[in-house]
Amino acid sequence: MQFLRQLIDQFRQLWRGMSLWRRIGLTTLTAACIAAIIGVGIWASQPDYRVLYSGLSAEDAGAITAKLQTQGVAFRLSAGGTTIQVPAEQVQQLRLDLAVEGLPSHSGKGFEIFDDAPLGMTPFMQQVNYSRALQAELSRTIMQLDPVAQARVHIVRPDPTPFIRDQKPTTASVMLKLKPGATLSHAMANGIVALVARSVEGLTPDNITLVDTNGHVLSEEHAGDSGASAASWQLEYRQELETYLASKAEGMLAQVLGAGHAVVRVTADINFKTVREKRETFSPEDRVVTKEQITSRKQGNTSSAGRGAAGTATNLSRQPVTTAPTGSNSQDETVETDYAVSKSTQEMEDKVGNIDRLTVAAMVELPKPDKDAAGPTMSLAEAQDIIKQAVGFKKDRDEIKVTGVKLAPADSPAEGDGGYMELQRWQSYASLARQASLGVTALVVLVLGWLVLRRFRPVQAAETAAEQQPQFRMREQLSAVAQKDPEVLARLLTTWLEESGPTTRAAA
């Protein structure tokens, strides 16, 4: 208590000795320090929130928040209500509890809808629930694909009819919401169509329509119906081809020069025209006799005596008729031959995707010649030959340009997946700041206390020096007298002893 009183008294003395502006500054600084300490304490005492789920739909977010409210769990919403944050120590347990409840459902309940089916369910209700469950299961399966954020599947089954002419096929439509910056390749779109077609009885790929949230048709059978869809598919095919050829060339150069020492870009001119051609070739030398017919004809005329000219007079007159013996013979032969000439028929079709021209541009960082190198270094011409062989270069068709340059170091690839990873990073920074703020606050308190004590220490030291100053001076005077005249000092000490003697005896 005495030390506290002395401290208060000294503070009062300092306060009286300060000017008005110093008093205002000290008061402001003290208030700011106290407010900072209180604010840091309140902030550090709050729980550390972590992401429970992100990228939720409005239905799933509402169902999850309602469940958290019934359990009395504190939560926060961010990213427009699509991300839910809860205290870090409850994240894992809440995920397990919500998974038991079927949350988040993403696209509704799957076949678990039949777990609580009522007893009086009609066949129509069973059929409707089966369609709903099948649509939800397909949506969940499609959402397992990396570029897909959300998916909705709609299956339309026509009413059965006994008449064949009135039967209609089963159809389906799939709506996809892709992740930010993600693209759906042509092969992946065909895979989704095949997945849905083989999951529904009576459904064919031609009756499935695949679209994204921007209204672009992604299914293959509609590629030719829309010019934009066809152009998109052609651009995708061209980009894949160019990337494939460039990666082959860069991979071969990286084996010698090292990674990041060569950049190859390929531009391909693709012919997307479809040409059908039919050819028939005849070979007259290669002929075969299929039919041969020979026709012969003989003709002869002969005259004999006793016969006259033909007619009624000759027959009635009975007169002999004498004719000169004459005769003539003729023979004709006709040959008809049928030949089969060999014929060759060819039907050719130039499919889409023929390469008309390749333009290759490359920048290569060649190593400097080193006499101590174990093997020969690569030249610019050798690098050009390697690129030609890798991309399938044709002399009269393609063009290539290779330049030796000094390449800048490649930047490190960006990590994380958009907003979720960024949120996790900031949360880790906030946790470190929360822990560090407590230590900084304690350090500030120690520094302020040390400054206050240092401010008071000179006063105490001055008082102590003031109290000890007479004794110090007396000691110096006695020492000087002892050096100059020891007898005077002896008489002085004897006098002090005689004066102190009666006082000592009286006390005894």
* DSSP for 41-68, written as a single string: HHHHHS--EEEEE-S--HHHHHHHHHHH
Q: Which residues contact 224 (CB under 8 A, 6 or more apart)?
A: 230
Output the pLDDT for position 266.
Answer: 93
Output the pLDDT for position 222.
Answer: 47
Which of 45-54, 167-176, 268-277, 329-338 is modeled with the greatest confidence?
167-176
Peptide bond into 160 cis (omega under 30): no
| Average pLDDT score over residue span 428-454 | 67
Q: What is the pLDDT of residues 456-489, one digit of tens each?
A: 555 444 455 544 555 556 666 767 777 777 777 7
Which of 207-211, 280-284, 497-501 is modeled with the greatest confidence?
207-211
Output the pLDDT for position 423.
Answer: 59
Q: What is the pLDDT of residues 56-81, one digit of tens each?
A: 777 778 888 888 888 888 888 887 77
Q: Say whether pLDDT at 223 is over 50.
A: no
| Average pLDDT score over residue span 225-244 | 75
At 401, the pLDDT band (50, 70, 90 cuts) reads very high
| Average pLDDT score over residue span 213-217 | 83
Between residues 193 and 226, which one has the greater pLDDT? 193
In DSSP terms, 348 is beta-bridged to 277
Q: What is the pLDDT of residues 15-69, one digit of tens each?
A: 777 778 877 887 887 788 788 777 777 766 667 778 888 777 777 788 888 888 8
Q: What is the pLDDT of residues 144-154, one digit of tens each?
A: 888 888 888 99
Look at residues 88, 154, 123, 200 and name the one whose alpha carbon lies nearest to residue 430: 88
At 125, the pLDDT band (50, 70, 90 cuts) reads confident
Q: Are 83 and 423 in contact (CB under 8 A)?
A: yes
Q: What is the DSSP string of 1-21?
A: -HHHHHHHHHHHHHHHHS-HH
The overall average pLDDT reported for the chain is 75
Torsion of CA 425, 431, 437, 439, to 10 degrees: -120
16: left (phi over 0), alpha (psi -120 to 50) or beta: alpha
Buried b (16+ CB within 10 A) or exposed e, 353-366: eeeeebebbbbbbb
In DSSP terms, 301 is beta-bridged to 328
